[in-house]
């Protein structure tokens, strides 16, 4: 049994990336739920620079930042690889992983903004989806090719959470007519057994995100 602990939160998309990677590789770990409104002393000690989850603790060694954790997992447990062996294919996967990281907040923009700012955020969100559709996926089933890879795991929140945000706000970004390949990707991603078994309950997710939205937009006018 590996001495492996994951400090995270079931309401965090970044935590889910790590859970998916570990489960896809069949690696056992202990999950410790962190209350982000009341961060444990352990978390503050583990991640003093960012004070964020997820944090992976492997044999007492700490790894932070979900994308970095994913690369660490990939290198430590090479079974069921999430990255191809070829350096160029790896570079492409890492490019889209980085794209996922850099664009998450922008894509989230339509959910947290109101009025004119929201309109701008919607356009920015659509541009992100366009890039994913045309340059990222191309003709492939997944970003990783025939099977999912690091980039799919990094972008997985689009498959799981975006629809909930769209429903609450009443604006659809990922429309089948506009982004047929990405739409199909989302369907396929959600059907993967490990992914299917490891997602938050939709009703619970809906309820907690709705509360978050009310809080955010209440202050948005100040």
Query: Which residues of this protein are in contact with another protein, per CB under 8 A?
Result: 49, 58, 61, 63-65, 67-69, 71-72, 75-76, 87-88, 90-91, 94-95, 98-99, 131, 135
Comparison of 63 and 169: residue with beta carbon closer to another protein: 63
Comparison of 34 and 65: residue with beta carbon closer to another protein: 65
Comparison of 125 and 200: residue with beta carbon closer to another protein: 125
DSSP conformation letters of 30-44? EEEE--TTS--HHHH
Q: State the minimum distance, in angstroms, from the CB of residue 217 to another protein.
A: 27
3-state secondary structure of 142: strand
3-state secondary structure of 4: strand
Q: State the minimum distance, in angstroms, from the CB of residue 179 to another protein.
A: 16
Comparison of 36 and 92: residue with beta carbon closer to another protein: 92
Max CA separation in the chain (angstroms): 53
Q: State the minimum distance, in angstroms, from the CB of residue 129 to another protein.
A: 12
**Per 3-state DSSP, what percentage of the chain is helix, strand, and coil (rounded to 5)?**
60, 10, 30
Q: State the minimum distance, in angstroms, from the CB of residue 99 to another protein.
A: 7
Q: State the minimum distance, in angstroms, from the CB of residue 49 to another protein.
A: 7
Comparison of 21 and 169: residue with beta carbon closer to another protein: 21
Non-local (6+) Cβ contacts of 96 within 8 A are 132, 136, 143, 151, 154, 155
Q: State the minimum distance, in angstroms, from the CB of residue 58 to another protein.
A: 8
CA dihedral 54, 56, 62, 63 (to 10 degrees): -70
Non-local (6+) Cβ contacts of 113 within 8 A are 120, 121, 220
Non-local (6+) Cβ contacts of 28 within 8 A are 1, 2, 4
Comparison of 94 and 212: residue with beta carbon closer to another protein: 94
How many C-beta atoms lie closer than 10 Å to residue 171's C-beta? Answer: 15
* DSSP character at residue 48: T
């Amino acid at each position: 049994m590996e001495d492996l602990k994951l400090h995270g939160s079931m309401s965090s998309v970044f935590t889910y990336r790590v859970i998916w990677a570990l489960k896809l590789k069949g690696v056992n770990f202990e999950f410790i739920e962190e209350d982000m409104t009341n961060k444990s002393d352990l978390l503050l000690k583990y991640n003093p620079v960012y004070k964020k989850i997820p944090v992976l603790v492997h044999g007492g060694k700490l790894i932070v930042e979900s994308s970095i954790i994913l690369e660490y997992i990939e290198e430590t447990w090479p079974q069921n690889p999430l990255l191809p062996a070829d350096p160029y294919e790896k570079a492409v996967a890492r490019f889209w992983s980085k794209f996922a990281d850099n664009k998450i907040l922008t894509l989230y923009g339509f959910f947290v903004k109101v009025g004119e700012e929201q309109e701008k955020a919607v356009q920015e969100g659509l541009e992100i989806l366009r890039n994913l559709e045309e340059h990222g996926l191309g003709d492939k089933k997944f970003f990783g090719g025939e099977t999912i890879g690091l980039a799919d795991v990094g972008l997985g929140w689009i498959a799981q959470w975006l629809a909930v945000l769209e429903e609450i706000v009443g604006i659809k970004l990922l429309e089948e007519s506009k982004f047929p390949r990405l739409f199909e990707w989302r369907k396929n991603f959600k059907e993967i057994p490990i992914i299917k078994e490891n997602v938050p309950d939709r009703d619970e997710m809906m309820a907690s995100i709705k509360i978050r939205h009310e809080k955010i937009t209440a202050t948005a006018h100040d």
